[in-house]
Amino acid sequence: MEFKFSDRLKKLPPYLFVEIDKAKRKAKAEGRDIIDLGIGDPDEPAPKEVTEALYKAAQDSKNHHYPLDQGSSVFRERVAKWYKERFGAILDPEKEILPLIGSKEGISHMPFAFVNPGDATLVPDPCYPPYKGGTILAGGTPYIMPLLEENNFLPDLNKIDKVILKKAKIIYINYPNNPTSAVCEKGFFQDVILFAKKYNLIIASDAAYSEIVFDGYKPSSFLKVEGAKETGVEFHSLSKTCNMTGWRIGFVCGNEKIIAGIAKVKSNVDSGVFNAIQMAGIIALDTAEKHLNRMNKVYQERRDALVDGLNKLGWPVKKPKATFYVWARLPKNNKSSIEFAETVLDKAGIIITPGIGFGENGEGYVRFALTVSKERIDEALDRLKKVL
């Protein structure tokens, strides 16, 4: 028999982290000591209280059934309380909050609700890959908004082609940003809202890193800005906030109709988040502040060690205000981010992510993830001395 992949599958770019994982496994199989500064997955466990809450909730057989499509009402109410306390944004837990199986799930399903074949979405570039992937799977075409250092890695809305704007349905924004670690001011959210109203676009704000912050910086929420709820939604996740990447729990909040669209897609493809995990998610939000106070100190110490160390090696890199990434322009005389990352893996046993993996405008950069101990970062700097 002969099976052929669908056209939409063939159009997907290769998922970068799968390729990097292959290289990593090969290096490990050869018995080498690898320092992995590649994928953004917190090295520390979820808070102990959260694991205990899961254990307790898993023992209650009431939680063993299919979860409700719209998610547990107690979890939704806890999310509403968190949004109010953390951002001062008021949300209706009945209609404006939807639990997700990790925010990646909601982000990649959203275009199925709003994008027809032939439509476009506006995606930042470099970016988190599912904005493009979800668009392509739904039959749409991602249109790239370059994030350039000279614009502080904000998209230039005036440069977007007017012909594309007629076909565009969704605009993605992501601050604090992965991979550039850039942040935005409230004024940027206001600009995007005006722009979205003018061109009838849905705003998808990805706030996965709103809690991973340094030097007293505190990002606000898109949903706190006037007009936000008329135009868009915000995705959040417990993955980075509470070291829960493997648990698969996130949520999308905002415009009622957009939430209803995502919920309708989901009701046809999945059956929601395990109730016991939603119960543990409540405890995660209860303990988030205490947990983050500690984790952000840990990340900040690692950030300082890495950035100061790279600068000492003659590689000028700036300290980010948020996210656990350091986005670095390639050292002098290097052009290809893939070649540079390969050299660093071969010669120093260090995995870093080539910028081009996040899109063409990521070329010329590499991303370091601060998800290993300070001791390992010091060791990585020692090894980098020989490569640079």
Ligand X SMILES: *Cc1c(COP(=O)(O)O)cnc(C)c1O
Instruction: Write out the residues near ligand X by the rule CB under 6 A.
Output: 40, 102-104, 128, 174, 178, 206, 208, 237, 239-240, 245, 250
For 114-183, the DSSP string reads H--TT-EEEEEES--THHHHHHHHTT-EEEEEE--GGGTT---GGGS-HHHHHHEEEEEE-SS-TTT---
Q: Token digits for 76?
A: 């939704």
User: What span, in angstroms and rounded, lies between the C-alpha atoms of 7 and 5?
Assistant: 7
DSSP summary character for residue 330: P
Using the minimum distance from each CB to ligand X, give the nearer residue, 104 or 169: 104
Residue placing its CB nearer to ligand X in the complex, 303 or 384: 303
Minimum separation from the CB atom of position 250 to ligand X (A): 4
Work out how close the CB of 162 gets to ligand X at its nearest, in angstroms, rounded to a whole number: 28
Backbone phi, then psi, for 346, in 5-degree steps?
-65, -50
Beta carbon of residue 78, minimum distance to ligand X (angstroms, whole number): 17
Burial class (CB in 10 A: 0-12, 13-18, 19+), 7: exposed
Q: CA 333 → CA 169, 184, 340, 355, distances in Å?
A: 41, 31, 10, 16
Q: Which residues contact 257 (CB under 8 A, 6 or more apart)?
A: none
DSSP type of residue 314: T
User: Of the two residues 47 and 250, which places its CB atom closer to ligand X in the complex?
Assistant: 250
- The residue (of 174 and 278) whose beta carbon lies closer to ligand X is 174
Smallest distance from the beta carbon of 118 to ligand X, in angstroms?
27
Identify which of residues 135 and 348 has a Cβ nearer to ligand X in the complex: 135
Q: Which residue number, 143 or 209, has a Cβ lying nearer to ligand X? A: 209
For the CB of residue 224, give the shortest distance to ligand X in the complex, in Å: 19
Instruction: Find the shortest distance in angstroms from Cβ 82 to ligand X.
Output: 15
Amino acid at site 258: I
